[in-house]
Amino acid sequence: MEFCLTASPEASRLLRVAHRDLKMARRLLDPEVEEASWGWATQQCLEKTLKAWLHMLGTKPPPTHDLARLLLLLQELDVNVGDLLPFRAFTTFAVQTRYEDEPDELGLDRTAWSDRAEALIELVQSKLSSQLN
């Protein structure tokens, strides 16, 4: 891990992009859209949010799509990630299902998971706002 001197600007930028990814994921809630497409957009949102959190804590995140790895890094920085561990399932959408022509459906509740992703963005945004004030 590398210490990041420009933590807050990069964290803010990543959260803006995470909001954009979440907006795309919400547009893919239609059951006619394959779960893999929605899952990819949601995974991107989660990845950027976790990386923003790492930046906010002064750590430059590694170039990875592995949400479990990002959560482990947050845990090493004394963040309680227990409630976030289910997000690890979305790593499969980053690489595996993205390149499969007929990926297995996981049967995820898209609305509930999108709401959880939005709550994570809001949590990190709140922590960032507190840090900047």
Q: What is the pLDDT of residue 50?
A: 98
Tens of pLDDT, residue by residue, the chain (133 residues): 343 444 588 999 999 999 999 999 999 999 999 999 999 999 999 999 999 999 999 999 999 999 999 999 999 999 999 999 999 999 999 887 777 777 788 899 999 999 999 999 999 999 888 877 6
Quickly count: other Cβ atoms within 10 Å of residue 91's Cβ: 19
d(CA 4, CA 101): 39
Which residues, including other chains, have CB under 8 Å from residue 23's CB and lie 6 or more apart? none
Q: Is the pTM of this model over 0.85?
A: yes
CATH 1.10.10.10 describes domain 2-132 = no
Question: In residues, how long is the chain?
Answer: 133
